[in-house]
Amino acid sequence: MKKLNLAIIGQGRSGKDIHGKYYISDKNVYYNIKYVVELDEHRREVAKEMYPGCEVLSDYKELFNKKDIDLVVNDTYSNLHFSITKELLENKFNVLCEKPFVRNRYECDVLENTAKENGVVLAVFQQSLYSPMYQDALRIVNDKVVGEPLQISIRYNGFSRRWDWQTLQTRMAGNVFNTGPHPLGIALGLLNFDENWELKFGSVQLSPLSSGDADDYCKAIITAPNKPVVDVEVNSTDAFSTYNIKIQGTRGTFQATNTNWKMKYIVDGENPEQPVKKDFLVNAKGNPAYCSEKLISHEEEGEYNGTAFDVGTANLYKDLYFKITEGKEMYVNVDKARHTVRLIEQLQSLSKAHVKYL
Ligand SMILES: NC(=O)c1ccc[n+]([C@@H]2O[C@H](COP(=O)([O-])OP(=O)(O)OC[C@H]3O[C@@H](n4cnc5c(N)ncnc54)[C@H](O)[C@@H]3O)[C@@H](O)[C@H]2O)c1
């Protein structure tokens, strides 16, 4: 199989430790790391060692006259995603852009049109939609494994402080832009990207816990006609968050983290219907009683063979390889990314976090 030549811009926590980790892993049978662009000299030196034979550059514009690049990965600060991706597309490069993809639907449309006009592939790095946890939850929903889904709860919460650029609105940061694409993308994915989804409630705030001026609390209630209610939180002040996805269906509950899952459910016919009583209940001694019975239920649990960061990343890069080489549609395409962008745009309009830093 012919490997594609890849250039990556940015060697930070994501560029080096998510993308780079994949490039140097056994799973990468698809890409040669040809160019690494990084503003920081130390990071350029590290890249030379990490990807033997690659050429390091300090200015991404130097890529424009290279003729041996099949894909450029834009892993720069979030506020640079739109402008740099647009320039790359205009220079006829296939581009994989990190999340958050862009600020709003308009920017999404501009990039999609630019890619079309230049006959190149535009892809979005929403790797959580390729994770074992998400793919399993999607199966639970679509196959009605715990019955008809009534409510899906998604928690990407924690109890920790931040003070880096990911707390600055000017850098397109905060929980909604930064972490949001994962749980909000999952929320829309579990609604099967229904065209008619609606944000029914949203609250976006900044607690005193975080530095900067961008939000660190987000609550969103989303639904679509004849679909479950989806309840999403991306909150930095939640000290007791025990799951990432919980699906409450008409026959039971499924719950998962990135590494483990469990479910408890009933099977049709095993618990004959209790005849309803119109008057008070009594126990064996004739005293007042509540409804009490031993419900016949089943429990299962297991582990996932990887997370969004390893398996999700590898699956996305594989999907992208076949998009570029054979034109196969990717699971995460620009249309799906646009849904997430639109939801984020709506949530941002509700934000109570005011700009304090330029
Ligand atoms: N998909 C995920 O799970 C995930 C996880 C972490 C970060 N991210 C995203 O990755 C992006 C980078 O975040 P990070 O945490 O790696 O940041 P970081 O601060 O760790 O690193 C950013 C790097 O980009 C470099 N850079 C910035 N502008 C550049 C330019 N014009 N040319 C060359 N290099 C440039 C910086 O020098 C720095 O080394 C962000 O958009 C973030 O939202 C995604």
Q: What is the mean pLDDT of residues 142-154?
A: 98
Residues 137, 253: Cα–Cα separation, whole Å: 11
Residues 132, 153: Cα–Cα separation, whole Å: 17
Nearest atom in ligand 1 to the alpha carbon of residue 59 is 32
Q: What is the mean pLDDT of residues 255-259?
A: 97
Question: Using a 6 Å cutoff on CB, does residue 183 contact ligand 1?
Answer: no
Probe residue for ligand 1, chosen from 8, 39, 182 as the CB with the greatest number of ligand atoms within 8 Å: 39
Q: What is the mean pLDDT of residues 124-145?
A: 98
Percent of the chain with pLDDT over 90: 100
Question: Using a 6 Å cutoff on CB, does residue 18 contact ligand 1?
Answer: yes
- All residues at 6 or more sequence positions from 319 whose CB lies less than 8 Å from its CB, including other chains: 130, 328, 330, 331, 332
Quick one: which of 94, 90, 51, 103 has its CA closest to 73?
A: 94
Indicate whether 1 pLDDT > 90. Answer: no
What φ, ψ does residue 350 adopt, rounded to 5°?
Answer: -95, -5
Probe residue for ligand 1, chosen from 22, 75, 186 as the CB with the greatest number of ligand atoms within 8 Å: 75
Question: Using a 6 Å cutoff on CB, does residue 335 contact ligand 1?
Answer: no
Q: What is the mean pLDDT of residues 5-24?
A: 98
The pLDDT value given to residue 136: 98
Predicted TM-score (pTM) of the model is 0.97
Probe residue for ligand 1, chosen from 77, 171, 184 as the CB with the greatest number of ligand atoms within 8 Å: 77
Q: What ranges do the domains of the chain cover? A: 4-125+310-328
Quick one: which of 169, 186, 187 has its CA closest to 178?
A: 169
Residues 71, 46: Cα–Cα separation, whole Å: 21
Indicate whether 270 pLDDT > 90. Answer: yes
The rounded Å distance from CA 80 to ligand 1 centre is: 10
Residues 19, 337: Cα–Cα separation, whole Å: 19
Residues 55, 7: Cα–Cα separation, whole Å: 9
Residues 105, 343: Cα–Cα separation, whole Å: 9
72-115 pLDDT tens trace: 999 999 999 999 999 999 999 999 999 999 999 999 999 999 99
Q: What is the mean pLDDT of residues 221-248?
A: 98
- Per the prediction, the chain carries an average pLDDT of 98
The listed CATH number (3.90.220.20, 3.30.1020.10, 3.40.50.720, 3.90.1150.10) that belongs to domain 4-125+310-328: 3.40.50.720
Which residue's CA lies nearest to atom 37 of ligand 1? 39
34-66 pLDDT tens trace: 999 999 999 999 999 999 999 999 999 999 999
Strand order in the sheet with 252-256: 198-205, 217-223, 229-235, 149-155, 245-249, 252-256, 260-265, 298-303
